[in-house]
Structure 1
Amino acid sequence: MSLPRSAAEDQGLSGAAIDAFVAALDASDQEFHTVTLVRHGQIVLEAEWTPYRLTDRHLLYSVSKSFTSTAIGLAVDAGLFSIDDKVVSFFGPEDLPETISDNLAAMSIRHLLTMSTGHAEDTVQKLQRGERMVQAFLSLDVEHEPGAPFVYNSGATYMLSAILQKVSGETLLQYLQSRLFEPLGITEATWGSSKEGITFGGWGLSLSTESMAKFGQLLLQHGVWEGKQLVPAEWVEAATSKQVSNAHEGNPDAQQGYGFQFWRGRHNTYRADGAFGQFIIVIPEYDAVLAVTSASADMQAAQVVFWDHLLPALEGKEVPVVARPERLELPAPTGPAPQAGDGQTYTFGENPGFLQAVRWDADGSAYFTFFEFGQDKAEDNGYVFAPGGWNEQPGLASDVDVDGTQHRVVTTAFGDGDSLVATIRWLAGPHAADFRCRIADGRMTVQGRLNVSFAPTEFTIVSE
């Protein structure tokens, strides 16, 4: 079940203005991967930058939160709980601390939804250190009375998922499968879960770009899909309205208020957004939805591109004629073929690039393994880097979604003097990396650069 397609002109938009918007995205210093624009319920723009594809799943990071909010709204409508129910009421002695502070006792589902739990900082890093994340959250000091100023808190969203699972007997993903995803024709959704079997809630959802657009269109239609009220209109209105102030945030599109796991934005918009530029932006005034996946190091800068170049198109203003590029792509880096390596395997300790081992062979190709994906040092468990454009790799056991679908990975390499420069893109998400490798005195030095990361994006490591 796909959204209908239409020419931009048939939905009141200038085709030239849409082409200029795509050209602006392509020329931006932000790295866009896929874009879908819906106007009056019709897809009027689909763009993908090779090697990324609109039809692939994309890791959405905190876009996940807005889907969690929707599940909570469905559960409230079903009478499973109220948003004013206290968080501690859902958990037993095995999870609760021996002494429940007044602030923890006062914390409600509403506070989880609005990121006003009373914590002084995001709790998620503290939760991920152990196997019992619910217990860890409930054991944390709640420094302020709940309802205190907005503090972005992915741990709060995890707790929403945990409460839903406690009450419904289904994981968050299972709960949404029949109530939201199936009615929308979304069949590809996958969502990571913790060691205690709880869907992450605040992160970990993967969807195609069109499925992102469908969700935005459902919200724009006040929860109605094909004549059926899938999500209560009252919940959509409340969730996407300003519930708390976030005026202390650093950027103008992050200062417009926060709802129930939705951000308010400029131009009377609201959005789900995720790290490194994953967006579902609903623009009610112009009956439009914009879904974007990207690897943006500056999410405000990405939104500035949208407002500077999409808004005039929606407003019907004349814009400078700029031809849409004939081909949208993120080309593979090129250069001379790498020189011969020594065929030795060099191993590395913990590092920001998760690089575990490199073997640079006599034919100039190289073989890399990565810690991040749970790989060991077996010779058949990694990626080949060789010159000649993007080389799509066979998926590894660790590159398979829960439904058996292989993630796509592309690599390439070139030589720069006595260095091998290797590039990898993990196409199921925003991440890519460059590794400049050089061998001297029996050791390999690697200068790494990540396109986007929660860790430092540049680092230098030397083999063990």
Structure 2
Amino acid sequence: MTALQQIADALETLPTTAFLVLDHGHTVLDHGATTAPTFLASARKSVLSVLYGPAVADGTIRLDATLDELGIDDIDGLLPQERRATVRDLLTSSSGVYHPPAAAAGPEDEAPARGTQPPGTLFHYNNWDFNTLGTIFERCTGRPVFTALAEDLAAPLGFDDFDPARQRLLGRPDISEHLSHHLFLSARDLGRLGTTMLQDGRWHDRQVVPATWVAESTSVQVDRGAGVQLDYGYLWWLPRLLGRGSFLAIGNFGQYLLCVPPGLVIVHLRAVSDEIVLARTQGTPAPNPIDSVSPQQFMKLVRGIQIALRS
């Protein structure tokens, strides 16, 4: 039995929907429904980071612009201190704004009290930051996030499975005016995105994402100190065990896009029903138990792939 066959067999024991491995754009392993668009959960945030690249490079979005300058507010108002948070603070999940997010997700239950943390001083995974980045993108560029996804990534990268009608703006506007831009993409389309990022933002002969943004957004912006395995860039997780230069998108249930220089891209997706998606974003109980693929299980697969490629 080959090492790759062992990985394929291991995948059969997991609730995996799709698993794709690319090496410099060439398919190493294609397992499951790799052409089916799937809810990305929080992996969407890394895709939003990619969309920010051209707008930051041409000055349409300034990383040092404050929420006050951008006219960003929310239900019942932001505190004066919160209004001083910058776009960069939101990209590093360090805004110090702990207003409830529109889409219930969980970590906010453990957030510090509002007004206790100055902007830029504490990393706290915070969906309000991520949702508001979607609002900021749309106000500054004059384009919906989903339109930018279609025009700036899906079209130039030749996404095969992109469905504009599948993308969803979700959340409760009675809690926050900044809703969640939820994305549904296939493993093979995510594989193209990952390959593009590892090629310094180039796809064939076209510079799709500025190389400077690729480097900056996937470098350590938040060193999370001793005892953790993941640092943080601009909406990308940076796994220490794989060495500097690697970056990772993570979404609940088992959504992963891992990029390891010089050219290894690994995509793992676990599909969930629309009923589960809606329940999760509305803060209501899920209709059925959800079997997920944990980061530890994913990293075991990654180690198996690395061994197989070296053999």
Is the structural similarity TM-score above 0.5? yes
Say which one has the larger Rg: 1
**1:114 aligns to 2:92 (yes or no):** yes
Contact preservation (8 Å) 2:52, 2:137: yes
Q: CA deviation at 1:298?
A: 5.2
1:72 is matched with 52
Contact preservation (8 Å) 1:123, 1:153: no
> After superposition, where does 1:186-265 map in structure 2 within 5 Å?
186=159, 187-189=162-164, 190-194=166-170, 200-201=180-181, 204-247=182-225, 255-265=229-239
Q: CA deviation at 1:241?
A: 1.2
Contact preservation (8 Å) 1:62, 1:273: yes
* Inter-partner Cα distance in structure 1 for 2:255 and 2:123: 22
Contact preservation (8 Å) 2:256, 2:268: yes
CA RMSD of aligned residues (A): 2.6
Question: Which residue type is aligned with residue 188 of structure 1?
Answer: D
2:242 is matched with 267
1:431 is matched with none
Distance of aligned partners of 1:96 and 1:77 in 2 relative to their CA distance in 1, 3 Å threshold: farther
Q: CA deviation at 1:247?
A: 4.0
Distance of aligned partners of 1:122 and 1:206 in 2 relative to their CA distance in 1, 3 Å threshold: farther
* Inter-partner Cα distance in structure 1 for 2:299 and 2:25: 24
Structure of higher RCO (CA pairs closer than 8 Å, 6+ residues apart): 2
Contact preservation (8 Å) 2:92, 2:235: yes
Gaps of 5+ in 2: 105-112, 271-289
Contact preservation (8 Å) 1:25, 1:305: no
Specify which of 273, 277, 301 is matched with residue 296 of structure 2: 301
Question: Which residue type is aligned with residue 112 of structure 1?
Answer: L
TM-score (norm 1): 0.55
Deviations 1:369-396 (A, max 9, x none): xxxxxxxxxxxxxxxxxxxxxxxxxxxx
Q: CA deviation at 1:26?
A: 2.5
Q: Percent identity of the aligned residues?
A: 25
Deviations 1:387-443 (A, max 9, x none): xxxxxxxxxxxxxxxxxxxxxxxxxxxxxxxxxxxxxxxxxxxxxxxxxxxxxxxxx
Deviations 1:113-135 (A, max 9, x none): 0011124x6842xx348xxxxxx
Distance of aligned partners of 1:21 and 1:109 in 2 relative to their CA distance in 1, 3 Å threshold: same
Question: Which residue type is aligned with residue 208 of structure 2?
Answer: L
**1:19 aligns to 2:14 (yes or no):** no
> After superposition, where does 1:59-458 map in structure 2 within 5 Å?
59-91=39-71, 95=74, 100-101=79-80, 103-119=81-97, 123-124=100-101, 127-128=102-103, 141-186=114-159, 187-189=162-164, 190-194=166-170, 200-201=180-181, 204-247=182-225, 255-265=229-239, 266-268=241-243, 269-285=246-262, 287-294=263-270, 297=292, 299-314=294-309, 316-317=310-311
* Inter-partner Cα distance in structure 2 for 1:198 and 1:43: 38
1:54 is matched with 34
Structure 1 or 2: more strand by fraction: 1
TM-score (norm 2): 0.80
1:360 is matched with none
| Partner SS for 2:16 | strand
* Inter-partner Cα distance in structure 2 for 1:24 and 1:98: 50
* Inter-partner Cα distance in structure 1 for 2:54 and 2:179: 17
Count of matched residue pairs: 274
Q: CA deviation at 1:258?
A: 0.4
* Inter-partner Cα distance in structure 1 for 2:77 and 2:151: 38
Question: Which residue type is aligned with residue 18 of structure 1?
Answer: L
Contact preservation (8 Å) 2:103, 2:179: no
Distance of aligned partners of 1:296 and 1:282 in 2 relative to their CA distance in 1, 3 Å threshold: farther
Contact preservation (8 Å) 1:88, 1:96: no
Contact preservation (8 Å) 1:223, 1:233: yes
Contact preservation (8 Å) 1:58, 1:293: yes
Distance of aligned partners of 1:122 and 1:297 in 2 relative to their CA distance in 1, 3 Å threshold: farther
Q: CA deviation at 1:308?
A: 3.4
Q: CA deviation at 1:219?
A: 0.7
2:279 is matched with none
**1:34 aligns to 2:18 (yes or no):** yes
* Inter-partner Cα distance in structure 2 for 1:65 and 1:311: 26
